[in-house]
Every structure is written in C-alpha cells, then in structure tokens.
Amino acid sequence: MPAAGEGHLHLAVALDGAGWHPAAWREPDARPAELLTAGYWTDLVREAEAGLLDFVTIEDGLGLQSERATRPDGRADRVRGRLDAVQIAARVAPLTDHIGLVPTVVVTHTEPFHAAKAIATLDYVSLGRAGVRVQVSARPHEAAHFGRRVFPALDGADPNDPRRAELTADLFDEAADYVEVMRRLWDSWEDDAEIRDAATGRFIDRDKLHYIDFEGRWFRVRGPSITPRPPQGQPVVTALAHAELPYRLVGRSADVGYVTPHDALEAGALTEQVRSAQRTAGRADEPLRLFADLVVFLDDTPGAARDRRDRLDALAGRPLRSDAEIFTGTATALAELLVEWSAAGVTGFRLRPGALPHDLEGITRALVPELQRRGRFRRRYEAPTLRGLLGMTRPANRYVAP
C-alpha cells in the first residue's frame, strides 16, 4: 500500500440544491422544505467530512437558476432560489473541523474588495479551510440587477458573432484582474502586523500594512484590506474551465481548476491544455491541482442506478444533460474509472451528486471505502488547512522583502 499521501486521489463534492438532476427534489429522501435552512447544508457538509473529502464547493448565482444559458426559463417544476454560498460556508465552518469550504463568488458585477474580505473572514472562521470558486456571468438579466453594464442578448445567436467572442474575452480578463486584486489584498497585511501590546498601546504596526495600488481596466483598488492576512496566507482560488479562455484563467490565476473530460484520453488532453496555459503565464513552478468533474448516480448494482436515473429523467420530462460526464453505476466501477483517469494526469475529482443525500452517501460510504481498499485514498485527515490537504505550502507575502 502506498505511504500516506503517495498515490492518493483528491476528492471533492459540488453541492447544489437537492442535487444535480433537476428532478432530484422529488426523490423520497430529498428535503425540499429544508433547502433554505442552515441545518440542511450542515448535514451535507458533515457527511462529506465523514468521508474524509478534501473540500466541498457550494454553487451560487446572481439570478434564479435556469436551464437556459443566458436567460430565465420561467419553469415552476425545478428548484428555484438559493442562499448565499459564502454565508452558508461561514455558518457551516464552526460546525466542522477538517473539510475545506469553497463557496462560489460570481466575479462579474461584484467587487473584489468585498469578496477578499469575505473569504478572508471565512478563512478565520474555519481556521484555515477556506477557498473560493470564481465564476463569470454573461446573462443580460443579471446585469440588469446592478444597472452598471448592459450585455447583448446572445441566446441563440450565431456562435461566430464577434460580440460573443469580445464579451467572453472581457469577462475572463476581468476575472483574472479580480483574482489578482483579491490576492494582493490578502497580502496587504504582513503576518506580524498585529502587535496587540496593551502596555505600550500599540495594536498594529502601521508600517506593515501595504497599499496595493492596483489599476486596471475594470478596477482601481488602493487597499489595504480591513481584514488581516488570512490563516492560509492565500485561501485557495478555484475555477471551472471548458474552453481556451477559461483554461487561460485557470493557468494564470487559480490554485485548483475543474475540467470536464468524457474519457481518459480527453482527460489527458485537457490537462495538457491547462498546463500549457500555466507555463505561458509563467507559473510552471507553482502548484496547480486539476480536478475532473463527474455527475454521479451510485447504487449497489448498475441496474438500480440506471433505474433511478431513468425515473428522475421521466419526472423531469427529458434525459439529463450536463457539461460533465455522467456516471451511472456502482462505487466499484466508479473507483476503477477514477484510477484510470488519474493516470492521464488529473490530480483529483470533483463529484456532482445526482441526488442528495443519496449520491453523496454513495460517495462517502461506498466509493471512499473502495478507494481506501485500493490504497488510493486517505484514512484520516493529514493537515489542518485546505492548502495542506492539497499539498500546497503557505505562500510568502509578496510585500515582505526576502
């Protein structure tokens, strides 16, 4: 069996409402009346922690959930409405001990100063287990909530419409600047800036707080932050990538990237695309973990998993569609797939449970033991911080001279 950490896979789960199938809220063990309660989310994250998973991500958005890419769908038979992801993570943090907490922040229309402060606070509340998933939005109706920008309605437009390419490029360039501002703000306090010496009356050393003086196309931020440097130094920045521009964002700005291959061959190809973007950005020597996303339906037999998914498809009125590969089967078969894909270069996997809590429990109570039997997953948490779990060191502060 490999030594602790050697050859081990990293596992995360992506939590969203009642699960990633649109009809999951109608399952007998679903809890639709509790989706907007703290207890519901606490139970899910505690279950993930019982399975020793690296972290959970929590979905969010600036508009109601929709099955249309760029506008509302007007449906009344799907889960609609959600709590703020950062607030969920902050509520769950004191009630968990080891698992990383990675809420989604939509960086379009929001301010990096506010997000940096919120994620730094989450890192304090969780004692070093915070991350953030940055996400962009091109939806015109979401821009209308803020009234500062107008986006073209491109739903159904020609894929070669130059407005689409221009908007996409702008959104991802803005996201890269957003991450850079957050990172500078997290470093704007040196680690020993707080003195707290009651005898001399000095609480902070003002010389160890730094202006970040960021000036770009979208942001001008002077700094410093109002929150001291987080326990991890830099909370973990993550992003989902499907194409060249988001691959570039991951390579340039992220600590963890999520990709969506559909087989081992594609997993290797996508990994190399992101690694190439990382090298182009001059970050070849920096850690970057790449997780493959999978939607999962897990049961004791392949037939039971297929039947359950078919039943949910019938309730939804159509087969489930996803950007990620959809796995339907047993934990043993999923373990074999994960091991195969890991050989192609991915660091770990972010699993999207088809229905909650059923498929989350399939991950924690069946998949994890199967991977442990193969010597491919931890049997205890090895580090107190999320960066530690991912094998990343605490970075030096950019404003402190070597």
Q: Provide the CATH number for the domain around residue 82.
A: 3.20.20.30
**b/e map 219-242, b = 16+ CB within 10 Å:** eebebbbebbbbbbbbbbbbbbbe
Distance from C-alpha of 274 to C-alpha of 79, rounded to nearest angstrom: 33
Task: Quickly list DSSP for 334-358.
Answer: HHHHHHHHHTTT--EEEEEESSTTH
Amino acid identity, position 74 = G
Distance from C-alpha of 54 to C-alpha of 56, rounded to nearest angstrom: 7
Total count of residues recorded for the chain:
402
> Does the residue 158 lie in any domain?
no
- What's the N-to-C CA distance of the chain in angstroms? 40
> Does the residue 276 lie in any domain?
no
Residue showing tokens 């990172």: 183
Of the candidates 227, 305, 291, which has an alpha carbon nearest to the alpha carbon of residue 257? 291
* Host domain of residue 33: 10-150+227-268+286-310+317-335+344-389
Query: Quick one: DSSP state of residue 78?
Result: S
> Does the residue 207 lie in any domain?
no
> Does the residue 85 lie in any domain?
yes
> Does the residue 385 lie in any domain?
yes
Distances in Å between the Cα of 141 and the Cα atoms of 42, 104, 147, 185 are 31, 19, 10, 30
**b/e map 253-271, b = 16+ CB within 10 Å:** bbbbbbbbbeebebbbebb
Residue showing tokens 């939806």: 139
Distances in Å between the Cα of 396 and the Cα atoms of 183, 234, 235, 362, 402 are 12, 9, 13, 39, 9
Q: What is the chain's alpha carbon radius of gyration, rounded to the nearest angstrom?
A: 21
Report pLDDT for 156: 63
What's the pTM?
0.95
> Does the residue 209 lie in any domain?
no
Task: Domain count for the chain, please give it.
Answer: 1
Angle at 313 between CA 308 and CA 316, to 5 degrees: 130
Of the candidates 127, 108, 126, which has an alpha carbon nearest to the alpha carbon of residue 173? 108
Successive 10-residue mean pLDDT values, the chain, 402 residues: 62 98 97 97 98 98 86 89 97 98 97 98 98 94 89 73 86 97 98 94 95 96 97 98 96 98 97 97 96 98 98 97 97 98 96 98 98 98 98 96 80
Report pLDDT for 95: 98
Of the candidates 264, 283, 255, which has an alpha carbon nearest to the alpha carbon of residue 346? 264
Report pLDDT for 396: 96
Return the number of other C-beta atoms located less than 10 Å from residue 150's C-beta: 9
For residue 132, the cross-strand partners are: 237
Q: Check: CB of residue 303 under 8 Å from CB of residue 269.
A: no
> Does the residue 39 lie in any domain?
yes
> Does the residue 279 lie in any domain?
no
